[in-house]
Amino acid sequence: MKTKDLPLLTSPLHGGALNQAINKYKNDKNPVPEKQWLDLSTGINPNGWSVPTIPASVYNRLPENDDGLIEAAQAYYQVSDILPVAGSQEAIQLLPEIFQRYGLLSENPRIGIISPCYAEHEFQWQKHQFTIIHLSSDSVDEMIDTLDVLVLINPNNPTGELIDKAVIKQWQVRLADHQAYLIIDEAFMDSTPQKSVLSVPDYEHRIVLRSVGKFFGLAGVRCGFVVATQKILSLLKYHQGPWSVSGPTRWVVTKALRDKAWIDDNKKYLQSASVRLENLLQHYLMHEHPQRLLAGTLLFKTLFLENAECLYEQLEKRGVLVRLLDNKKGLRFGLPASENQWQRLESVLDCI
């Protein structure tokens, strides 16, 4: 195929494109000053773990696997078989390739995905020509015996749905009966670890993805973890190549996972901030619209409404960036970072 004949490929959109939003309106007659913009589009903890000065030696050496990161992760997640990855995104990209390359699934496999959810899951399976079955949590029982992989985010992004681990365990058993796999993305689970399936020590045909980007607010370091059988972990490690997680990242994440005092305080902070955001959205965006629905996690709230795109543009023009859902039927709001930002959000909502 000639270069000019290559298809135009597109990837899913994500939150966090603040510079793009600022540039979109910089030529307006009265643009919002750059410092006044609020980026509430990602669901990342805006007051994450404070990174101390990193020793120069960490930059001078190649990353080493025996630097304490594995032990810190094992203690934090209370598991034994765990692999660091360059954000859970790396695992999301590698898993379909591994399943396909090593024939881990039956012929003509069907991938069930509880939707809507983080779009990269479907996108990566589609890259490898897998058949995608969109499911709700209520329809899983009906379809599960026909699936080769079931993918779910728990709690879900963007709906906030949290599926009981006892239900998930039943699904895992049924999938394992016909050698199918369960993949659970727990990127938003850190605030409620007692709800995690990791407390059920049965890895067979189960793959759990965790992230330090959300709860710890360390999205930029690009680090996550996979908990699975040694068979799956060894295949992931083989395909991720050497030094997938950088030395400075390993140093930072090791210290963050061991900071129990901060972890406990952060849970309390997120609980109160979540309530405040929910109350604010209910007062300004739902009081006169009882048909609208509000759901989410401690790190974000999603408002479901028919005119979501219109409201999105109204907020954006006033310097508040939120996440417009792919189906255009909802807006996801992250947490403001400071009292000034809370007041700024309230003043903007009051004008809409």
Instruction: Return d(Cα 251, Cα 56) in angstroms, integer.
Output: 12
Work out the average pLDDT over 25-35: 82
Burial class (CB within 10 angstroms; exposed 0-12, middle 13-18, buried 19+) of 180: buried
Lowest mean pLDDT among 13-22, 256-265, 278-287: 13-22
Q: Is the pLDDT of residue 7 over 80?
A: no
CA atoms within 13 A on the CB side of 270: 29
Amino acid at 227: V
- CATH topology assigned to domain 62-258: Aspartate Aminotransferase; domain 2 (3.40.640)
Give domain limits for the chain.
Answer: 3-48+261-351, 62-258
pLDDT for residue 297: 97
Q: Is the pLDDT of residue 105 over 60?
A: yes
Q: Is the pLDDT of residue 30 over 80?
A: no
Q: Is the pLDDT of residue 12 over 60?
A: yes
Number of Cβ within 10 Å of residue 324's Cβ equals: 21
Tens digit of each residue's pLDDT (9 = 90 or more) over 227-261: 999 999 999 999 999 999 999 999 999 999 999 99
pLDDT for residue 202: 80
pLDDT for residue 17: 84
State the pLDDT confidence band at 349, using cuts at 50, 70 and 90: very high
Q: What proportion of the chain, given as a percentage, has pLDDT over 70?
A: 97
Determine the distance from the C-alpha atom of residue 60 to the mean position of all C-alpha atoms in its chain, rounded to a whole number: 31
Instruction: Return d(Cα 71, Cα 79) in angstroms, integer.
Output: 10
Instruction: Return d(Cα 298, Cα 136) in angstroms, integer.
Output: 22
pLDDT for residue 203: 77
Tens digit of each residue's pLDDT (9 = 90 or more) over 184-199: 999 999 999 999 999 9
- Could you tell me the two tokens for 178? 């016909």
Q: Is the pLDDT of residue 71 over 90?
A: yes
Tens digit of each residue's pLDDT (9 = 90 or more) over 132-144: 999 999 999 999 9
State the pLDDT confidence band at 3, using cuts at 50, 70 and 90: low
Q: What proportion of the chain, given as a percentage, has pLDDT over 90?
A: 87
pLDDT for residue 248: 98
Lowest mean pLDDT among 7-11, 49-53, 271-275, 294-298: 7-11
Sheet of 323-324, strand order: 293-296, 300-304, 330-334, 323-324
Q: Which CATH number fits domain 3-48+261-351: 3.30.70.890, 3.90.1150.10, 3.40.50.1260, 3.40.50.720?
A: 3.90.1150.10
pLDDT for residue 88: 97
Work out the average pLDDT over 332-346: 98
Tens digit of each residue's pLDDT (9 = 90 or more) over 167-177: 999 999 999 99
- Could you tell me the two tokens for 313? 């543009």
Work out the average pLDDT over 21-36: 84
Number of Cβ within 10 Å of residue 295's Cβ equals: 18
